[in-house]
A and B are shown apart, each in its own frame.
Chain A
């Protein structure tokens, strides 16, 4: 059973417009959420995060919104640039009690920004 879902496998956006990537989760115990970006042949790169007690976090062109009651978060990229074309993974963090913050990832959304 997937605890983190990214229901859109792909998204195409014109350069300069807004990209909105969505993520849903089922486990209410998750207490931190992260977005990673992945280019082919590279590992995931950390982008932005948000704790479960906040509803918005902004970093430059990237903003993450959290709706805890709906168990939904979204990543907004404004304005979108061709270099943003990559696979974006939503991840949820849960403290295990033994020391780790295990990440549970969604399947990813491939974003294509068209010049």
Chain B
């Protein structure tokens, strides 16, 4: 399977613990996004990488959250001192931008997500 993969699929942790999630994008995709989805809502943008550079962060990404993408391949999202409000599905998406006239977008391909439950 050459799609986006995420690990683990489920994580249950106690409040105050640190957790780390991994995302492996589609191999030729240089663009990588993290989103968070809570119950009854659509996904919300968290952060964006182009290759290894983290170019954008949402205001939703508090200082307890950190994301990396070493060498522009896989990415990790770490949450320190988890809180019950962090319970959500964390989705990773990757894309490759094709050259074209304005307007344009990149088609983002999502992984299956990591469901985090903070007790």
| A interface residues with partner B (beta carbon < 8 Å) | 4, 31-32, 34, 36, 41-46, 49, 51-53, 89, 91, 93, 95-96, 98-108
Q: Nearest Cβ distance between residue B45 and chain A, in whole angstroms?
A: 5
Contact count A vs B, C-beta below 8 Å: 83
| B interface residues with partner A (beta carbon < 8 Å) | 4, 6, 31, 33, 35, 40-45, 48, 50, 55-56, 91, 93, 95, 97, 102-113
Contact for A44 among B41, B45, B55, B110, CB less than 8 A: B110
A93 to B102, alpha carbons, bound, how many Å? 13
Question: Are B43 and A105 in contact, with the CB atoms below 8 A?
Answer: yes
The A interface is mostly helix, strand or loop, or mixed, namely: strand
Question: Are A100 and B33 in contact, with the CB atoms below 8 A?
Answer: yes
Q: Nearest Cβ distance between residue A35 and chain B, in whole angstroms?
A: 12
Knowing A43-B91, A44-B43, say if A32 contacts B112 (CB, 8 Å).
no
Question: Are A43 and B104 in contact, with the CB atoms below 8 A?
Answer: no
